[in-house]
Amino acid sequence: MNKQDVTFNFDNTYACELEGFYVPWKGEQAPAPSMVLFNDKLAQDLGLQTEKLKGDQGAEIFSGGIAPKGANPLAQAYAGHQFGGFSEQLGDGRALLLGEILDNDGHRVDLQLKGSGRTPFSRGGDGKAVLGPVLREYLMGEAMHALGVPTTRALAAVTTGEDVVRDGVKPGAVLARVASSHLRVGTFQFFAARKEWDKVRTLADYAIARHYPDLADANEEYLAFLSAVADRQASLVASWLHNGFVHGVMNTDNMTISGETIDYGPCAFVDTYDAKAVFSSIDHNGRYAFGNQPVIAQWNLARLAENLLPLIDGDDSENAIRLATNVINGFIGQYTEIWTKGMRAKIGLVSSENEDAALINDLFTAMDDQNVDYTLFFRRLADAAEGQDEELLALFNNSQEIKAWLPSWKDRLLRDPQAIAERARNMNTVNPIYIPRNHRVEEALQAAEAGDMAPFNALMNVLSDPFTKRDGLERYEGAAPDDFGPYQTFCGT
């Protein structure tokens, strides 16, 4: 084993301030840790010692076997509603929080390992992760970041040298990820379910200080906190829908307090626009379907609201319920406003008129059941803004409805203060040309599992700049061919 001389700028508030909210723990020693991917750019932004970390020391640390100096490795407690059913105890069953790092600008991030072995929260699980899903989370998270969607980030992926049983034997792996924190709706649920209201308050105070410091002195601080989390979730889920992303497993333990996307398991991007799109093999009723995500976010926030009631008004529970209900009832309106604002930009508007919402709704009606590629549609719409409609129309099975929509859109553009070429350019800065197309993701993962990282690295490179069309990358633009078949995703990392 190498002598560890790498240092991190740790400052572990969770470990220090929230005793009783976790179990101090250690990662398992992997038999033969080996670095597969290291996110150099992110490591630099975090002020890490990249040269030391990209080699064997990094593999040792990120596989969990050795805790670096200053780390307080621990498994966090949380509960959660999974597909609507409550589990009083979930927790980090295969994850380990090493600690918090202050980056070059003083921003605080969690450094967490996923797949580093069993913990007291593992229940029946083995605490392990395997290479394919680790790489999938790496790729999806980094792609989302490049799209401008708030997300956890991937810092490194290592293989452990161990065989792990998952539908056959697979190479064991660990993902090192960073997040602005791993506080979840489910973290509150854990203590609220046990009626440990002091702890719920301590947690809320901690979350406010860490993510919403402006609220610390607000009137009705805890109500304002609920509102602020709802704001961030409204923006987050709107950005998912703008980009065609289906999270796939929006359980309350997979919803962050910070408003970042977390836990890329069975997620996928839609090719064709379909509000009912579901990819997860276990989402039989479409609870987490593409178009259902705003309603589910609201449902999850209602669970958070319930947990905060005694803090919102400890003396008058009716009043607490009334105040919290107002916030939750306002969510869909708030979401719709943010979504509409983003859709305006996607269809080339910088100005705003009341009738835009109807124009946008008509567009989605025209896209319904048309097998239209959601991503390509908006790129072709930029061409249409410059007068070229043919390729756009060719995306539709039957172009009758979209042909009726285009003139009303073009009328609207006449009242929007942008030059034609400028508008098309602006549209292409919010509408990606490259997304993680399901067939390309699978192709890259299959090659990686067979030992060839080249397709994965090529895809990562494409997705790192999703808005700029580049020559030679045509194969990454289009939807999966028909023979790719219906796409199914799975939960297990």
- List C-alpha distances in Å: 33 to 39, 106, 128, 311, 448: 17, 31, 14, 46, 17
In the complex, the smallest distance separating the C-beta of residue 118 from ligand AMP, rounded to whole angstroms, is: 7
Residue 255 interacts, among ligand AMP, Mg ion, none and using kind-specific CB cut-offs from 5 to 8 Å, with: none
Distance CA 224, CA 230 (A): 10
Binding ligand AMP (rule: CB under 6 A), the pick from 79, 90, 320, 323 is 90
Per-residue mark of binding to ligand AMP, 473-492 (x: CB under 6 A): ------------------x-
The encoded tokens of residue 402 equal 């979209």
**Amino acid present at 68:** P
The encoded tokens of residue 262 equal 């977390």
Which residues partner with 87 through β-bridges?
Answer: 80
How many residues touch ligand AMP under the rule CB under 6 A: the total is: 17
Share of the chain residues as helix, strand and coil, in percent rounded to the nearest 5: 45, 15, 40
> Scanning residues 264 to 293, which ones bind ligand AMP (CB under 6 A)?
265
Report the phi/psi class of residue 64: left, alpha or beta, with left for phi > 0 and alpha for psi in -120 to 50. left
- List C-alpha distances in Å: 379 to 168, 248, 272: 41, 26, 14
3-state secondary structure of 120: coil
> Scanning residues 126 to 155, which ones bind ligand AMP (CB under 6 A)?
126-128
Report the phi/psi class of residue 387: left, alpha or beta, with left for phi > 0 and alpha for psi in -120 to 50. left
Distance CA 117, CA 95 (A): 7
Q: Check residue 10 and report its DSSP letter.
A: B
Q: Are 442 and 419 in contact (CB under 8 A)?
A: no
C-beta closer to ligand AMP: residue 129 or 302: 129
Give me the phi and psi of 236, to 5 degrees please: -60, -50
Of 271, 259, 258, the C-alpha closest to 211 is 258
Residue 202 interacts, among Mg ion, ligand AMP, none and using kind-specific CB cut-offs from 5 to 8 Å, with: none
Does position 137 interact with Mg ion (CB under 5 A)? The reply is no
In the complex, the smallest distance separating the C-beta of residue 73 from ligand AMP, rounded to whole angstroms, is: 15
Q: Which stretch binds ligand AMP (CB under 6 A): 88-96, 194-202, 314-322, 334-342?
A: 88-96
Per-residue mark of binding to Mg ion, 259-298 (x: CB under 5 A): ----x-----------------------------------
Residue 90 interacts, among Mg ion, ligand AMP, none and using kind-specific CB cut-offs from 5 to 8 Å, with: ligand AMP
Residue 402 interacts, among Mg ion, ligand AMP, none and using kind-specific CB cut-offs from 5 to 8 Å, with: none
Of 131, 74, 167, the C-alpha closest to 456 is 131
DSSP string of 340-352? HHHHHHHTT-SS-
Distance CA 259, CA 181 (A): 10
Binding ligand AMP (rule: CB under 6 A), the pick from 24, 84, 125, 314 is 125
Residue 122 interacts, among Mg ion, ligand AMP, none and using kind-specific CB cut-offs from 5 to 8 Å, with: ligand AMP
C-beta closer to Mg ion: residue 58 or 186: 186
Q: Which residues are catalytically annotated?
A: 253
Residue 142 interacts, among Mg ion, ligand AMP, none and using kind-specific CB cut-offs from 5 to 8 Å, with: none
C-beta closer to Mg ion: residue 256 or 298: 256
Distance CA 456, CA 446 (A): 9
Torsion of CA 62, 68, 71, 77, to 10 degrees: 30
Q: Which stretch binds ligand AMP (CB under 6 A): 248-256, 324-332, 341-349, 386-394?
A: 248-256
Residue sitting closest to ligand AMP (CB): 125
Does position 122 interact with ligand AMP (CB under 6 A)? The reply is yes
Binding ligand AMP (rule: CB under 6 A), the pick from 70, 93, 148, 291 is 93
C-beta closer to ligand AMP: residue 57 or 256: 256
Q: Which stretch binds Mg ion (CB under 5 A): 37-45, 227-235, 246-254, 430-438?
A: 246-254
Does position 91 interact with ligand AMP (CB under 6 A)? The reply is yes
- The residues binding ligand AMP (CB under 6 A) are 90-94, 121-122, 125-128, 249, 253-254, 263, 265, 491
